[in-house]
Structure 1
Amino acid sequence: MNYFVIGYYALLIGASCLAAFYGRRSIFMLLFSLTLVSFVVGIVGGESALWTITLCAGALALSAGTAYAFREFLVNISGRETAKALKTAPLTAAFGMFVIFTYAVMGIFAPVIAPHGEAEVISSAFAPPDDTMLLGADQLGRDMFSRIIYGARNTVGLALCATLLAFFMGAFAGLLAATKGGNLDQVMGRIADVIMSIPSLIFALLLLSIFGTNLIVLVIIVAIIYSPRVFRLTRAVAGNIVVMDYIEAARLRGEGDLYLIRKEILPNSTAPLIAEFGLEFCFVFLLIAGLSFLGLGIQPPTADWGSMVRENATLISFGEITPLIPAGAIALLTVAVNFVVDWMLWRSAGLKE
């Protein structure tokens, strides 16, 4: 047993005793549970397993510290009402906002951050990392790090455009159906049912095979596939609002449907719709990445995380983790958006008091 193992257990047990002495029950349970788990894992996996636990704990601590600092930064630069809301945000939501902010900076300033062009061939195929290539080269000799940076602009930007279009189509149709009612509501509902009954990936592959893989076509097809989900939620939320007395009073004043949608219904259904926007973005983002992985999404030489996983999958056979980096970027953004959406749903559900 070396000094690392002794210091590891001494630190955990000492911290557990201090937490118990000062009455920090939750911290004590966390630390002592980690001690017991480490004891079992250390017996089975040895010192290397303890190093893995240490690195994971360090990564979690770094993430928590970053999330706390970023939340305090947002509180200090925000207005009074926004700052009050942000102070109640859990660290998971703050971490999600930090990740989203980081991806936004990567996408907007990609030409400045990336050391090379997204299609620039600078080395041989699958060249190892060096001073000019942080993550090595891909199958054509292009810088992987630069292509990941540009992938934030292309993959996330395209998903955002498709989500905005799907949200506009679905939300407008849902608000109109709830306001008009009658046959229009029934027809729109049946059309949404038909589209939602078809698996999204199969539907997208079929339409892209027919109409081609142009970026505009891809955005329109993805928006059509996911707009019924937005329609359903908007119709349900707006349906509870149109029966209110103030809507009836507005109708008696002679207000038109567009006025009711813009001034009465939409302002009172903003919170769940914003949360739904985050969820829709995750679905659209994963669908576009999946289509690119299958070869029918964003086409080469444009950098895209889904296609980068496919193009460099050969490296996994040689023990390289380079193809997992774009896959990890996809997973990280999806988890981050879900963290923020969970907090927004918690607030909109009235559970904050």
Structure 2
Amino acid sequence: MTAPLSSPQTVRRSRLGYRMNLVGVISFLVILAWALVAIFAPLLAPHPVGEIVDFDYFGPVSSQFPLGTDYLGRDVLSRIIFGARYTVGISLAAVFIACFCGITLGMTAAVIGGFFDSALSRLLDALTSIPSKILALVLVAAVGSSIPILILTLAFIYIPGCYRFARALAVNVNAMDYVVVARARGERLGYLIRAEILPGIIGPVLADFGLRFVFIVLLLSSLSFLGLGVQPPDADWGALVKENIGGLSFAAPAVLFPSIAIASLTISVNLLIDNLPQKIRDRSEQA
């Protein structure tokens, strides 16, 4: 005889279905750790970020310098800790701006439709056709590489992608009966977007948010590696790899550990979003 739907076994199984697996939990902890490092960098760094603390350039790992020293004899651990502020901070700011603008425009175009939808889609499709790295190089080289410019440039590059993704989802939700009823009773555009469209696409949008964050981290690191990102004496993780590239022939840890930092953050975000969207969709369907 089968157990009733309200049995403890069924409830236990349903609750477990909403939990992230071990990989998701570990990924979340890694992301949280880097976020805390970025916030509390001045308290965690053992040395001032620009201070030359060792006369042995490209020094090895030691008890005094856990991650070695760079090409000028500066502590690599301190520079990675401070670099987290730029890598995480700039990328988060850029992805928030890109997703907010792109998702808002995408939902608006799906609800309004007509000429507005067609014109906006063609314009942003034209921007999408330009390779992201080339567009970033042109914009940063033309305007400058200050932190506000970097944030706006990265956000501008990824707005079209956010728009296309959000519009594709919003068009499907816009055809649902409950949205048609809300429109028939005279609800305004803002209400339709906020209360009817957005709740129906929030799961995939959060997944896309994580992917865009990874793309922006990698693009920012690429710009810094080419010398157009965060400028000295400050440095993000991409700049740390670039400035210590000469240590490859010495097997210097100053090249290895910034690369590991970039990989740990981007891989953790990817692994986390593999668990998050299904969890949110399941709860939305239950509601």
Q: Please report the TM-score for the alignment, with normalisation by the length of structure 2.
A: 0.89
Is 2:47 aligned against 1:113?
no
Q: Greater helix share, 1 or 2?
A: 1
Amino acid at match of 1:190: R
Q: Tell whether the 8 Å contact from 2:18 to 2:279 is kept in structure 1 after alignment.
A: no
Please point out which of 300, 318, 336 is paired with 2:268.
336
Match of 1:66?
Answer: none
Residue 82 of structure 2: aligned partner:
150
**Match for residue 136 of structure 1?**
68
Query: Residue 182 of structure 1 aligns with which residue?
Result: 114
Query: Given that residues 118 and 303 in structure 1 are in contact (C-alpha distance below 8 angstroms), is that contact kept between their aligned partners in structure 2?
Result: no
Match of 2:138 among 206, 209, 212: 206
What corresponds to 1:219 in structure 2? Answer: 151
**1:134 to partner: Cα distance:** 2.0
Alignment of 1:17-96 (within 5 A): 84=15, 88-96=19-27
**How big is the alpha-carbon RMSD for the aligned residues of Structure 1 and Structure 2?**
2.2
Q: Structure 1 residues 349 and 247, CA, compared in 2 at 3 Å: closer, same or farther?
A: closer
Within 2, Cα distance between the matches of 1:304 and 1:85? 39
Indicate the residue corresponding to 2:4 in structure 1.
none
CA distance in 1, matches of 2:52, 2:15: 50
**Shift in alpha-carbon separation, 1:350–1:130, aligned structure 2, 3 A:** closer
Q: Radius of gyration: which is bigger?
A: 1
Aligned mates of 1:152, 1:346 — CA distance in 2: 29
| Structure 2 CA distance for aligned equivalents of residues 337 and 130 of structure 1 | 30
Give the C-alpha shift of residue 155 in structure 1. Answer: 0.8
Please give the alpha-carbon distance, in whole angstroms, between the structure 1 residues aligned to 2:73 and 2:140: 29
Match of 1:63 in 2: none
1:129 touches 1:136 (CA, 8 Å); kept in 2? yes
- CA distance in structure 1 between the aligned counterparts of 2:36 and 2:150, rounded to whole angstroms: 25
Return 5+ residue gaps in structure 1 as ranges: 1-82
Rounded Cα–Cα distance in structure 2 between residues aligned with 1:87 and 1:256: 35
Does the CA-based 8 Å contact 1:129-1:135 persist in structure 2? Answer: yes
Letter in 2 for 1:156: V
Match of 1:234 in 2: 166
Superposition deviation, residue 345 in structure 1: 3.4
After alignment, is 318-327 or 258-267 more displaced?
A: 318-327
SS of structure 2 residue aligned to 1:195? helix
Amino acid at match of 2:213: F
Give yes or no for the alignment of 1:326 onto 2:258: yes
Q: Deviations over 1:51-71 (max 9, x none)?
A: xxxxxxxxxxxxxxxxxxxxx
Q: Which letter maps to 2:259? A: A
8 Å contact kept, 1:179–1:242: yes
Write the distance in 1 (CA, Å) between the matches of 2:66 and 2:257: 12
1:198-255, CA deviations, whole angstroms, 9 ceiling, x for partnerless residues?
1100110011111111111111111111111111111011111111122122122221
Contact kept? 1:137, 1:144, Cα under 8 Å: yes
TM-superposition CA deviations, 1:30-58 (whole Å, max 9, x none) = xxxxxxxxxxxxxxxxxxxxxxxxxxxxx
Aligned letter for 1:277?
A: F
Which amino acid in structure 2 is aligned with residue 331 of structure 1?
A
Q: 1:254 aligns with which of 165, 186, 209?
A: 186
2: CA distance between counterparts of 1:181 and 1:213? 37
Asked if structure 2 preserves the Cα contact closer than 8 Å seen for 1:174 and 1:232, the reply is: yes
8 Å Cα contact 1:154-1:303 kept in structure 2? yes
Letter paired with 2:279: R
Residues 200 and 181 (structure 1), Cα distance of their counterparts in 2 relative to 1, 3 Å cut: same
Tell me if the contact between 1:163 and 1:280 (Cα under 8 Å) persists in the aligned partners: yes
Alignment correspondent of 2:227: 295
Q: Aligned partners of 1:332 and 1:274: how far apart in 2?
A: 20
Q: Are 1:269 and 2:201 an aligned pair?
A: yes
- Unaligned runs of 5+ residues in structure 2 are 1-13
State percent identity of aligned pairs. 43
